[in-house]
Amino acid sequence: MKAPFSAEPIETVAASDKRSGNPGPFGGYYAPVEAPIDAEITRTDRGTSLGEYMRKFWQPVCLASDLRDVPLAIRILGEDLVAFRDLSGNVGVLARRCAHRGASLEYGIIAEHGIRCCYHGWQFDVDGRVLSTPGEPLGSRLKDSVCQGAYPAFEKSGLVFAYMGPPAEKPPVPEYEAHAFPPDNKIVPFSNFLPCNWLQVHENIADQAHAVFLHVGMTIDPDAKAGEGTQLNASFGIMPTLEWVETRDGSGMVFIAGRRIGDRIWIRINDLLLPNITQHAHLFEDGEKPKIFANHLSMTRWAVPVDDTHTQLFGWRYFNDLVDPEHRGDASKCGKEKIDFLDGQVGNRPYEEGQRNPGDWEVLTSQGPISSHKLEHPGTTDAGLFLWRRLVRRAIRGQAPGASAEAIASLTRRCNPLPMYSQDSVLNIPARDGTDDQRLMREIGRRVFDIIVEADGVDPAARDSYIREQIRALEKTASA
Ligand code: FES
Ligand SMILES: [Fe+2]
């Protein structure tokens, strides 16, 4: 079709296809500049499907170290809140606007019990009850008829969690494997802010192909010595075989990445859990040394919507000799707006540094405040994103019984902590002449994953040794 007023050769214009979104060579004029967003799985204000779903889980809302002698203004799921620790040690997460006449409680005075509004002195306990209305006449019952908006909250290992859903549906508090094992695990809380929607931040973990390019191939420092100068170990620069599998009745998924490292196959698996949690195996893994089911975690992380166009990553970094025997991590570099792995995780670098050595922060925020999926042209490596989006959609539509907030709460009651699937295995399985090595890696990856899932039915005390025994047998058979 010839476009009006076009002086371009007819072939160039004919190559454009507005229906497919392909504008053709030099066809920028036809390229779409905006498209609708996928509101169902990006918007989290109260009353939205996803917002109501997310509210039924405990969410980190701030670092415990940010609770000082003045209240902390926070915004979570589009709600303006204030967090504080009262003088009795109780943590409060209250609506920021005072129930009396709307002054912000960020200017309040922290009390023995709760917080006192600076405007007329009303005092609210951490559960929102009005403890006093000092300007009212003696005997006034006004305080008994009002409650400040309040959410249950607690501190755990340096993070403050709140539950913002219907009180009757409050789930149990989940435990995390890395808190019990290894016993000397050092747990360091952190938070990183990104001015963009939560989904593009979270689904980045389902997009494992980006590690090959963004973190290795595209960011080689020309001044670095051989083998250095990339954000991740060079082994991450090998394009892996990739598979994504739904887990636990649709309440999560894993990616399975297989890489050939000489005579070995490195199988890496990471967990993504609804609604917004990821658990990461060793961040500095290089796939060089043999290992079988190294399930020591480096990090647990939540992509918490501040609102629809801002996200706060909260998490725990884990430090111990099992997960990081070479001590490549650095606990002193983790905390508020700082993290010890990869460049470009936080937004406080000079712009040009981000251009020369871009990281996750640059690519995620540059997708726009809410990335429009309609403008994407996905390839085979993007299948994991689509699985994740499908999981979220099915969960909030009630189409996956195992992914409802009630089902996940019930799973937590039965199995707390949930055994993680995240792990690295580096198996001695040389390539075979005449055999499709990519296919072999896929099969080994899938078998490793199946063994781990089978172990859900094994006594927790025997789980790890069962899995290792089975993977060892797999290695033996596959290398014979
Ligand atoms: S506005 Fe808070 S006490 Fe009046
Ligand atoms: Fe990344």
- pLDDT for the residue 33: 83
Segment 308-323 shows an average pLDDT of 96
Residue with CA at minimum distance from ligand 1 atom 3: 120
Segment 410-421 shows an average pLDDT of 94
Q: Is the pLDDT score of 404 beyond 90?
A: yes
Q: Is the pLDDT score of 142 beyond 60?
A: yes
Q: Is the pLDDT score of 459 beyond 80?
A: yes
Q: Is the pLDDT score of 9 beyond 50?
A: no
- pLDDT for the residue 480: 87
Confidence label for 7 from pLDDT (cuts 50, 70 and 90): very low
Domains of the chain: 61-169 (2.102.10.10), 177-479 (3.90.380.10)
> Among the listed ranges 224-238, 294-308, 323-337, which one has the minimum average pLDDT value?
224-238
Which residues are CB-contacts of 437 (< 8 A; sequence separation ≥ 6)? 260, 431
Instruction: Give 210 Cα–ligand 2 centroid separation in angstroms.
Output: 6
- pLDDT for the residue 1: 31
- pLDDT for the residue 10: 35
In ligand 1, the atom with minimum distance to the C-alpha of 103 is: 1
CB-ligand 1 contact for 122 (6 Å cutoff): yes
- Whether the CB-CB separation of 314 and 304 falls below 8 Å is answered with yes
Nearest listed ligand to the Cα of residue 207: 2
Residue with CA at minimum distance from ligand 1 atom 1: 101
CB-ligand 1 contact for 103 (6 Å cutoff): yes
Instruction: Give 307 Cα–ligand 1 centroid separation in angstroms.
Output: 26
pLDDT in tens, 47-100: 999 999 999 999 999 999 999 999 999 999 999 999 999 999 999 999 999 999
CB-ligand 1 contact for 100 (6 Å cutoff): yes
Nearest listed ligand to the Cα of residue 214: 2
* Most distant pair of Cα atoms in the chain: their distance: 91
CB-ligand 1 contact for 429 (6 Å cutoff): no
Q: Is the pLDDT score of 445 beyond 80?
A: yes
Segment 274-281 shows an average pLDDT of 97
CB-ligand 1 contact for 101 (6 Å cutoff): yes
CB-ligand 1 contact for 98 (6 Å cutoff): yes
- pLDDT for the residue 188: 98
Q: Is the pLDDT score of 397 beyond 50?
A: yes
Convert the chain into a string of H (helix), E (strand) and C (coil): CCCCCCCCCHHHHHCCECCCCECCCCCHHHCCCCCCCCHHHCCCCCCCHHHHHHCCCEEEEEEHHHCCCCCEEEEECCEEEEEEECCCCCEEEEECECCCCCCEHHHCEECCCCEECCCCCCEECCCCEEEECCCCCCCCCHHHHCECCEECEEEECCEEEEECCCHHHCCCCCCCHHHCCCCCCEEEEEEEEECCCHHHHHHHHCCCHHHHHHHHHCCCCCCCCCCCCCCCCHHHHCCCEEEEEEEHHHCEEEEEEEEEECCEEEEEEEEEECCCEEEECCCCCCCCCCEEEECCCCEEEEEEEEECCEEEEEEEEEECCCCCCCCCCCHHHCEECECCCCCCCCCCCCHHHHHHCCCHHHHHHCCCCCCCHHHCCCCHHHHHHHHHHHHHHHHHHCCCHHHCHHHHHHHHHHCCCCCCCCEEEEEECCCCCCCCHHHHHHHHHHHHHHHHHHHHHCCHHHHHHHHHHHHHHHHHHHHC
β-partners of residue 229 are: none
pLDDT in tens, 341-363: 888 899 999 999 999 889 999 99
Segment 277-298 shows an average pLDDT of 94
- pLDDT for the residue 5: 33
Average pLDDT over all residues of the chain: 93
pLDDT in tens, 211-268: 999 998 876 665 555 446 678 888 999 999 999 999 999 999 999 999 999 999 999 9
Which residues are CB-contacts of 213 (< 8 A; sequence separation ≥ 6)? none
Q: Which is more confident, 153 or 3?
A: 153
CB-ligand 1 contact for 117 (6 Å cutoff): yes
pLDDT in tens, 16-45: 455 566 889 999 999 888 899 999 999 999
Which of 94, 107, 120, when mutated, tests ligand 1's pocket best, judged by the most ligand atoms within 8 Å of its CB?
Answer: 120
- Rounded Cα distance, 347 and 360, in Å: 10
Instruction: Give 123 Cα–ligand 1 centroid separation in angstroms.
Output: 9
In ligand 1, the atom with minimum distance to the C-alpha of 101 is: 1
- How big is the chain by its Cα radius of gyration, in Å? 25
High-pLDDT (> 70) share of the chain, %: 93
Nearest listed ligand to the Cα of residue 342: 2
Block residue for tokens 């979570």: 76
CB-ligand 1 contact for 239 (6 Å cutoff): no
- pLDDT for the residue 2: 32
